[in-house]
Amino acid sequence: MRMRNISRFLCVVMALIIAFSAASCTLTKQYSYKTDDVELPIGAYIYYLRSAYAEAETYAQKSDKYDAEKGTYDGNTSFLQMEITDDDGKTAVAEQWIIDKTEQRMNEAVALYYEMKKLGASYDEDEIKSTKKEIEKQWADADAAKELEGYGISCDSFCLVNYTLSAIRSAVFSAEYGEDGPSAVSEKEMQKYVNDNYTSYKYFSANLYTTIEADDSEGTSENVAMSDEEVKKYEKAFKAYAKDINSGKAFSEVLNDYNTAFEASATATENVQKIDKDTTDELNKQILSLKEGQAKYKIIGDDAKTRQIYVIYRVPIASEKSYLSEHKDEVLSEMKSDDFTKLLESIAKELKIDRSSACDSYKPSMFE
């Protein structure tokens, strides 16, 4: 667990530094947001500000006003005054969107501390302290950390946002929606959610091409398309395999029939997942086109040198009883993450939060 945390630290730091340009801010113990129960440092505000800046930049780069070759936005090097649209469909001027998103996250952080106390939730403080000690050892000697400090983000602030608040959020979420929580979600409700929103499927496939290893020293290879006669042989067989499944033959038996007939060693791919009805992935489109309990064969790919042929079977989701027991946390998060965000927003509105005027000293433009 600790090694994953440390790796996460390095990845986050490097991602930030690659995006950051040189700047100069003084580290301070000054607070940013506080209530009677908690006081958050100004570094947390700056960190969230930078995170929101990076998100806004991504949205700006999706705009038709973005010129990737020149790195400009409607002819300007800055995107802060252009309108962006986020994943929720909200449109706003980028600079204001960044400030609003930062303030939203700061308010949520304060609300988390309040709700943790109210619900009597707890997290593993010893694990967080241990992780922080390991990060501090690297922080002292890391040039990347010095760059972060140049923006006013200390090691304490970095760890608070990435580890402590993450742990608190998880603890409060579980206390709110878990067993005996004020908004507890029953297993029956979760199973219904899975049945209504998830798709279960199996498939096996074969390449309609062969790969020839080159003799050159570079070890390159080349795909060669199968002849029309060979493709027809596979198509006839896979059509029959799908028909067998639709007639009641077990998927595993059909897979064994294929491996025997073609001297292959194919294995089944099995999965349960949410598939967006507007998916552009061809395999996912074919899965969704099936009724539960139905199978089909399909050739996927336009290039004869990369095409594959599939037998796809959509498993009745109600038969996947073990999925929920093995993925309960994931399903609960899918069900209630939006509700949880709204809950924190409503809690924050009821709290008397003191926002320091020092926050106004930090603008999105500091990251340009």
For the segment 235-291, what is each residue's pLDDT rounded down to a tens digit? 999 999 999 999 999 999 999 999 999 999 999 999 999 999 999 999 999 999 999
Higher-pLDDT residue of 27 and 230 is 230
Q: Note the pLDDT of residue 115.
A: 97
For the segment 195-212, the average pLDDT, to the nearest whole number, is 96
- Confidence band (pLDDT; 50, 70, 90) for 23? very low
Identify the CA nearest to 362 among candidates 77, 107, 24, 20. 24
Q: How far is CA 197 from CA 54, 173, 194, 295, 329, in A?
A: 31, 21, 5, 20, 16
Q: Which residue has the tokens 């690297």?
A: 138
| Surface-to-core class of residue 126, CB atoms within 10 Å of its CB (0-12 exposed, 13-18 middle, 19+ buried) | exposed
Distance CA 103, CA 364 (A): 13
Q: Which two tokens stand for residue 14?
A: 């490097």
| Surface-to-core class of residue 83, CB atoms within 10 Å of its CB (0-12 exposed, 13-18 middle, 19+ buried) | middle
Higher-pLDDT residue of 13 and 298 is 298
Residue 25 pLDDT > 70, yes or no?
no
The per-residue pLDDT of the chain, averaged, comes to: 91
Q: Which two tokens stand for residue 249?
A: 């033959």
Share of residues in the chain with pLDDT > 90 (%): 84
Instruction: Kindly report the pTM of this predicted structure.
Output: 0.80
